[in-house]
Amino acid sequence: MARMKFLCDADRCIECNACVTACKNEHEVPWGMNRRRVVTLNDGKPGERSISMACMHCTDAPCAAVCPVNCFYTTADAVVLHNKDLCIGCGYCFYACPFGAPQYPKVGNFGSRGKMDKCTFCAGGPEEDGSKEEYEKYGANRLAEGKLPLCAEMCSTKSLLAGDGDVIAQIYKERVAKRGYGSGAWGWQTAYRETIAT
């Protein structure tokens, strides 16, 4: 099986936010919650870079480690998913996540955040693939249909790559070799404990 990863080529991202919109629309993510977002560093200054970020589906995921009810699981494709029926909305996964991926439907006063929601790598949840229940809780399951995450699929500059980690690393390496520069795979060291040697 492939080891699924995200890679955002910061030298290509134009901060168009199409990935954010695509994600919200594909999964009908409610108001106030974002499974994916674009963060701009050094905004308006020389060297400005934008990076699209969502759950990185970490190796040995910290969210899964700290969850007091053990509601996370990792698929054969190394996608980190969770079971909303078990989630108690304690908010610990947000404290542990290095990428701010977990989202909650409510503000969280008195500990009532509601069920956590996050990027599923377009792979749904524990319910039957493509079922109505799965869609309502976790959004579309594109992976089960043989498709990759929509955010990356429709990225206009092909900055955001999603798929088999080895394949997207190779694509990135070739890009860097051809154009002569690259600011690296943002977040990879933190998420996967490895970088792409270019």
* Residue keyed to tokens 């690259």: 182
Looking at residue 178, what DSSP letter applies?
Answer: H
* 143: contact with other proteins by CB under 8 A: no
Give whichever of 70 and 147 is closer to other proteins, judged by the CB atom: 70
- Separation CA 157–CA 152 (nearest Å): 10
User: Does the protein bind other proteins through residue 96 (CB under 8 A)?
Assistant: yes
Distance CA 35, CA 74 (A): 18
Distance CA 24, CA 3 (A): 24
Helix (H, G, I), strand (E, B) or coil at 41: strand
Residue whose tokens read 């901060």: 15
> In this complex, which beta carbon is closest to other proteins, that of residue 1 or of residue 109?
109
Q: Which is nearer to other proteins, 96 or 144 (CB)?
A: 96
- For position 115 contacting other proteins by CB under 8 A, the verdict is no
- Residues at the site binding other proteins, with contacts judged by CB under 8 A: 10-11, 17, 20, 32, 34, 37-43, 46-51, 53, 62, 65-71, 83, 85-92, 94-100, 108-111, 180-184, 186-187, 189-190
